[in-house]
Amino acid sequence: MVILRELKRRAHFVLGPVIGMALTGYFFYNLVEGERGLLRWLSLTREIRVENANLEAVRTQRQALDLKVSDLKPNHLDPDLLDERVRATLNLVAPNEMQPTASPEGGAVEPR
């Protein structure tokens, strides 16, 4: 009985620091490992860098496509460029044209 009373008396002195240490450990763990913790922040930062690089690549590609489209506008249309693109896209050759092709042996180029 005396031992039980002594344990209760000492528990009041120990209980506060133990709860405080447990809460501190909980918050520190979530600071590092939590959903919004340090490791997740580093991961998101890495993802942002990768996506920014992808964005720059897409912007560059879009600028190249915008340049091609601007060349096809009616006020900026070059008939030779149009003829070249139509022939390349549709794989057409005029009847009086000669088209150079490589021979199967890899030798000289001979007209068709």
**Looking at the predicted structure, is the pLDDT value of residue 25 above 80?**
yes
The pLDDT of residue 110 = 52
The pLDDT of residue 105 = 67
Q: pTM for the full model?
A: 0.49
* Residue range 62-72: mean pLDDT, rounded: 86
- Amino acid, res. 83: D
Dihedral of CA 95/97/99/100: which sign?
positive
Q: For residues 85 and 95, is the Cβ–Cβ distance under 8 A?
A: no
* Residue range 31-55: mean pLDDT, rounded: 95
Average pLDDT over the chain, rounded to an integer: 84
